[in-house]
Amino acid sequence: MSYSHLDIEKKWQHFWETKETFKATKDSKKPKYYVLDMFPYPSSQGLHVGHPEGYTATDIVARYKRTRGFNVLHPMGYDAFGLPAEQYAIQTGVHPEITTKQSIENFRRQLKMFGFSYDWSREISTCEPKYYKWTQWIFTKLYEKGLAYQTEVPVNWCPALKTVLANEEVVDGKSERGGHPVVRLPMKQWMLKITDYAERLLKDLDKVDWPQRTKEGQKHWIGKSEGAKVLFAIENFSDKLEIFTTRPDTIFGCTFMVIAPEHPLVQKITTTSQEKEVTAYQEAASRKSELERQTNAEKTGAFTGSFAINPLNNEKIPIWISDYVLMGYGTGAIMAVPGHDERDYEFAQKFELPIVQVIEGGELPYTGEGPLVNSGAFNGKDSQESITLLITEIENRKIGTRSIQYKLRDWLFSRQRYWGEPFPIVRFPEKGIKALPLEELPVLLPSVPEYEPSDKGESPLARAKDWVRYEKDGEIGARETDTMPGSAGSSWYFLRYTDPHNENEAVGFEEQKYWMPVDLYLGGPEHTVGHLLYARFWQKVLFDAGVVSHDEPFQKLIHQGMILGSDGEKMSKSRGNVVNPDHVIQAYGSDALRVFLMFMGPLERDKPWSDQGIQGSRRFLDRVWRLVFEDEAGEVVITQNQELSESSNKLLHKTIKKVTHDIESLSFNTAISQMMIFVNELYRENVKPQKALLTLSQLLMPFAPHIAEQMWQKLGGKDSVSIAPWPSYDEALTREDFVTIAVQVNGKKRGTIEITEQTSQEEAMKLATALEPVTNALNGVQVKQVIYKAGRILNIIAK
């Protein structure tokens, strides 16, 4: 017999909705627990089975925490502005407003089928005016604080997507979305000064409980380097050439200088005879992307004709330009030390420049540390010590300073696209730029008929002439026509959930103070240097502005693995290995799908889908069902008022303990295994004890909430199993029982060992062979066979 999952699931979803079981209300008498999923962008394809994997995991935690007395906030919403929605609209020719609305409705329908315990009254969508009003307001705060500025910058322009992309959206020179080529073009853009927060974004990683690799990813992206800036005199010029180095200890080995082709001094110091070569080189370099420049196999460059003076040994050294030196990092100029830097070494070899060893320790180029040579007064001193000494010397002689550099660049924040938040900015012919006050927000996104981006990078909003024209108190201005990137709305949505209906503020101070920070945040690792960094940045800006009370938004972070197709490959339409959750739920029920998604393996691992697997999970639930009910509808109860045997009772307590601990440590697959063991035991003993089954329904509730509610209600449980206090266990009953068994060698007793029911043969053999009489008896003979009965005997047959 198989239960009618569709009816049962609908029934309980309706129950939770009408009873508002999961509505979260601030309550200072209860400890709070905020558990958050990365909200999805509502794609037209609907949910992918990868979505509910993470959502089920957080739902288990949310449901469990409620029964442990926590006031749980578990919200859901939609990241609805941005490229994917707009691209879909362009493909289909249907306005993004319409397609996004449809996609959201479909997502909501699907999410509801899973029985997730969201507080639906807090649902938000980033493309709604009542939400983006506050995204715009946050932008005005950034602007007021000087953290938003406009500048002409070389940007990542993606011709295929017809848009600029943030550095975080470019992977290996291609767009993260779609893998289209990206080129560098100068354009006027809005930037956010995330670099002002580099040090705090780095340091505060110590405050949060995140996966090590994610922290490392952010650290690497922020890229802090400590060293010095040093001024080199230029022969025949009064200008000085300033360089940044992390290795001042190698300064005696500097045999040439390299400056970026865009460096402002290039024109000035290039001699007439070198002019042609230098200009040609500059032109070639301007056509390359930053990535190309950094991964160039062969070094290229041109000599400027000028010379610098090494301030430490007064040697005259040539100044070159080369594209491996980037204008956007450090000072855009380096002292080249070919003996100890690989790129400088290649360059020196190519252009036959001298190579001098100044650090001992290995074959050149030697990039490690060691004692100094050829370095005057510093000979024999170690690298580390010399770095300190040289920086002091440089500072004393006023030819440089200690310096810290970050790889992190400012966040490119404007898009020449339609489907995003308009900037709350107006440009006046005389007065210049003005950020609009709160009373004038939201600046509504006008409904334009033509929302396609232009080839030239002009924003579609520029075509809405009436909208662009701004008039107030007789003054006429023009609205900014760029829109914000998709990552704007997602940089603060977690705050809005704590106070989603506030019409006067982005978030009420008391509300966010109570609920924040997020106690558990779950989402994909692909957001490491994008969303997860941006959200930390905005949180800190709002913290500094006194809007919020915490300076880190996400206390604990976990990444779920990917659900792969049954062929072990990433699910994709073209492969035909996509699993549609609608079909699975139709056939097996959402409880079975939830259990299977959690049973597949450890949460953080990538796991292939399996049809047998989902069937297995369903069979398990059917077995549970048949312990309680006689019929498919779950109306006729067949449990008895039986006591558990002593050993089953112990197993029940062990099960409560294990499920409790496993949920706490997010080890959901092992929690399910333990429940399966317990269910098997009830079948083995052929009992259907009512009390134990009530407890089982509680343990099962976070995983398979619908069937758990049905069991709970029909077995006489009070109210709803979703809010019943979590069962406790008797520690004494969870301890393993040790028994003493005889160890025989060829039938003759040689000693005894202490084992439990769970001890494996291998472990028992280890214990036995540690006994001297056993080793003696086995001396000179070979073990042929081992007869092991857990709890009874270990007989070793040897010849």
123 or 292: CB nearest ligand ANZ: 292
Tokens (6 digits) for 778: 């086995």
Amino acid letter, residue 751: G
Report d(CA 794, CA 799) in Å as an integer. 17
Tokens (6 digits) for 635: 């109306």
43 or 296: CB nearest ligand ANZ: 296
- Is the CB of residue 470 less than 8 Å from the CB of residue 426? yes
326 or 389: CB nearest ligand ANZ: 326
Report d(CA 795, CA 780) in Å as an integer. 18
Minimum CB distance to ligand ANZ, residue 528 (Å) = 19
Helix (H, G, I), strand (E, B) or coil at 363: coil
Minimum CB distance to ligand ANZ, residue 89 (Å) = 41
385 or 757: CB nearest ligand ANZ: 385
Helix (H, G, I), strand (E, B) or coil at 779: coil
Helices (H) and strands (E) in the chain, counts: 26, 29
Q: How large is the angle between the packed helices 611-628 and 668-685, nearest 10 degrees?
A: 50
Minimum CB distance to ligand ANZ, residue 330 (Å) = 3
Tokens (6 digits) for 690: 């009512």
Minimum CB distance to ligand ANZ, residue 377 (Å) = 19
369 or 452: CB nearest ligand ANZ: 369
Strand boundaries in 276-348, DSSP class E: 302-309, 316-321, 333-336
- Is the CB of residue 727 less than 8 Å from the CB of residue 678? no
Q: How large is the angle between the packed helices 96-113 and 581-588, nearest 10 degrees?
A: 30
Minimum CB distance to ligand ANZ, residue 327 (Å) = 7
Concatenated DSSP letters for 677-729? Answer: HHHHHHHHHT--BHHHHHHHHHHHTTTSHHHHHHHHHHTT-SS-TTTSPPP--
Contacts of 432 (CB under 8 A, 6+ apart): none
Give the Å distances, CA to CA, from 312 to 324, 360, 375, 435. 25, 19, 9, 51
- Is the CB of residue 601 less than 8 Å from the CB of residue 607? yes
Residue 696: in which H helix or E strand, if any? helix 690-700
What residues does 798 pair with on adjacent strands? Answer: 783
Give the Å distances, CA to CA, from 784 to 778, 792, 796. 11, 20, 8
409 or 496: CB nearest ligand ANZ: 409
Minimum CB distance to ligand ANZ, residue 308 (Å) = 14
Minimum CB distance to ligand ANZ, residue 169 (Å) = 22
Report d(CA 634, CA 628) in Å as an integer. 8
334 or 693: CB nearest ligand ANZ: 334
220 or 735: CB nearest ligand ANZ: 220
110 or 310: CB nearest ligand ANZ: 310
**Residue 582: which of 117, 85, 51 has the closest Cα?**
51
Long-range contacts of 747-752 (CB under 8 A, 24+ apart): 747/795, 748/777, 750/774, 750/777
Minimum CB distance to ligand ANZ, residue 529 (Å) = 16
Minimum CB distance to ligand ANZ, residue 305 (Å) = 22
Minimum CB distance to ligand ANZ, residue 360 (Å) = 13
Minimum CB distance to ligand ANZ, residue 506 (Å) = 37
Biggest CA-to-CA distance, the chain = 109
Angle at 182 between CA 181 and CA 183, to 5 degrees: 125
154 or 602: CB nearest ligand ANZ: 154
128 or 346: CB nearest ligand ANZ: 346
**Residue 617: which of 535, 692, 714, 700 has the closest Cα?**
700
Minimum CB distance to ligand ANZ, residue 165 (Å) = 22
Helix (H, G, I), strand (E, B) or coil at 569: coil
**Which residues of this chain interact with ligand ANZ, rule CB under 6 A?**
225, 244-247, 250, 325-326, 329-330, 332, 334-335, 337, 340-341, 405
Report d(CA 557, CA 551) in Å as an integer. 16
246 or 673: CB nearest ligand ANZ: 246
153 or 578: CB nearest ligand ANZ: 153
Helix (H, G, I), strand (E, B) or coil at 618: helix
Minimum CB distance to ligand ANZ, residue 333 (Å) = 7
Minimum CB distance to ligand ANZ, residue 188 (Å) = 24
Report d(CA 438, CA 392) in Å as an integer. 51
- Is the CB of residue 257 less than 8 Å from the CB of residue 243? yes
112 or 407: CB nearest ligand ANZ: 407
Neighbours of 465 (CB within 10 A): 8
